[in-house]
Amino acid sequence: MLGRQSGYRRGGRSAWKMRLVMALILAGFSLCSYYGSSEYNEVTGEKQYISLTPHQEIALGLQAAPQMMKQHGGLHPSQEHQDIVDKIGWKLVNQSDAAKTEWKFDFHLLRDSQTINAFALPGGQCFITAALYGRLKTEGQVAGVMGHEIAHVIARHGAQRMAKQRLTQGLTGAVLVAADPSGQSGQMAQMVAGMINMKYGREDELESDRLGVKFMVDAGYDPRSMIEVMKVLAEASGGRSQPEFFSTHPNPDNRIEKIEAAIRAEFPNGVPSNLIK
């Protein structure tokens, strides 16, 4: 009887060692794949970890764009307002560092009059809903929103998130392989994964605000209009339902201070009076 129990213990230890070896191999492969895919972004001046080529990013964005339009009720019926969004978007692109990039930009005003949101897909597809567009009062405010979304594209935030999610999934899988039978280790790994990706997304948004300010300045827009956008969003949050914008962006009150710092960096002696508001 004792010999049989000892055999069980040896078998259990062998199985655990095998799971540990497999977990280490999986974790090592995930880390090597992630850190081995670094690129330098000339616009942001940062080293990034990205597993997609620019052509793949553009293709993904174009493939996903029709579904995003459908999800928000299609394109807005007013060509006049679509032309305004196009004019502002292309002015931001053509008169800033965005013009030096290979991204295929396109700007879409969505019919959705209920969801207050703006977003960008990898590769250059940028969207703003009628619900948000209708709350903006000036050309500069629209530029503030679109400059932020253009920055997401140029900073390759979508591709970076995808690469980091792959890393997180790989490390989570490694933990699950070596997890105890109760599954508690797996649950903890999922919690850690969620926290990592949430923090990463917040940093993306703040960087897009900073770059958006620069793009606005390059195109002749008053960057203080972006602060007005934050106030519009804060006012919208006083309603019964939170804007969808808040599910992926930091609270406007927390962003204004960072935007003001970015404006001071561009205009240490004060903002000129001849910019488009």
- Per-residue pLDDT tens over the stretch 153-185: 999 988 777 766 664 554 455 455 455 544 444
Integer CA distances (angstroms), 270 to 139, 222, 224, in order: 21, 11, 11
Residue 271 lies inside a defined structural domain of this protein: no
Tell me if residue 228 falls in helix, strand or coil: helix
For the chain, how many structural domains are there in total?
A: 1
Tell me if residue 113 falls in helix, strand or coil: coil
Residue 276 lies inside a defined structural domain of this protein: no
Residue 31, both tokens: 């880390």
Question: Sorting pLDDT into bands at 50, 70 and 90, what band is 204?
Answer: confident
pLDDT digits (tens, 9 = 90+) for 135-153: 999 999 999 999 999 999 9
Mean pLDDT of the chain: 79
Tell me if residue 102 falls in helix, strand or coil: coil
Note down the domain range covering 151.
2-266
Q: Stretch 93-101: mean pLDDT, rounded?
A: 95
Q: Stretch 207-231: mean pLDDT, rounded?
A: 96
| Spatial CA neighbour of 123 closest among 203, 60, 176 | 60
Residues 52, 54, 56, 59, CA torsion sign: positive
Residue 39 lies inside a defined structural domain of this protein: yes
Residue in this structure with the two tokens 């616009």, named with its chain if needed: 43
Residue 90: φ, ψ to 5°:
-70, -30
Rounded Cα distance, 101 and 76, in Å: 28
pLDDT at 143: 98
Rounded Cα distance, 122 and 134, in Å: 25
The answer for residues whose C-beta is within 8 angstroms of residue 47's C-beta and 6 or more apart is: 38, 39, 40, 41
Per DSSP (E only), the strands in 144-202 are: none
pTM reported for the whole predicted model: 0.76
Residue 236 lies inside a defined structural domain of this protein: yes
